[in-house]
Structure 1
């Protein structure tokens, strides 16, 4: 059976999967803070979790994604 030539190796796919998981966690941390009746103001939307921690987690996830895409796979050899 012939080996398929993928652009990424197994390690790249694992890094990308971890990055997606971190990004999803970041967006989950941003969620919530809605008012109970839909009209009144809820100051919980300005919590530290939503305006500091969640964006940092999300940006770290995107940085991991970039690393996973750009990382050179060990099993990819350049053919001349």
Structure 2
């Protein structure tokens, strides 16, 4: 009977407060990666802009995105601390 009461008491959010904070940090990292990837376009379609092939857009931004997605997986999989 006591086990059933404990299960009912703990029926709340699936993740802990720390998990949601880590997920917010991961989301911010992903947004930064997409911001770094943006831009480089040209107003005139007949003019080529070599900025679309910059090191920032082809290397740094995808690496930051990958780090953000891995961080999100960690934030979801991390076991929340139990309150005593």
5+ residue gaps, structure 1, are none
Say which one has the larger Rg.
Answer: 2
Pairing partner for 2:49 from 33, 42, 64: 42
Alpha-carbon distance, 1:19 to partner: 0.4
Structure showing the higher helix proportion among its residues: 2
Which residue is equivalent to 1:22? Answer: 29
* Residue 65 of structure 1: aligned partner: 72
Q: How many pairs does the alignment contain?
A: 75
What is the CA distance between 1:4 and its match in structure 2?
Answer: 5.9
> What is the CA-CA distance between 1:3 and the residue it aligns to?
7.2
User: Partner residue of 2:5?
Assistant: none
Q: CA RMSD in A?
A: 1.7
Which residue number in structure 2 is paired with residue 75 of structure 1? 82
TM-score (norm 2): 0.82
TM-score (norm 1): 0.86
4+ residue runs of structure 1 moved beyond 4 angstroms?
none
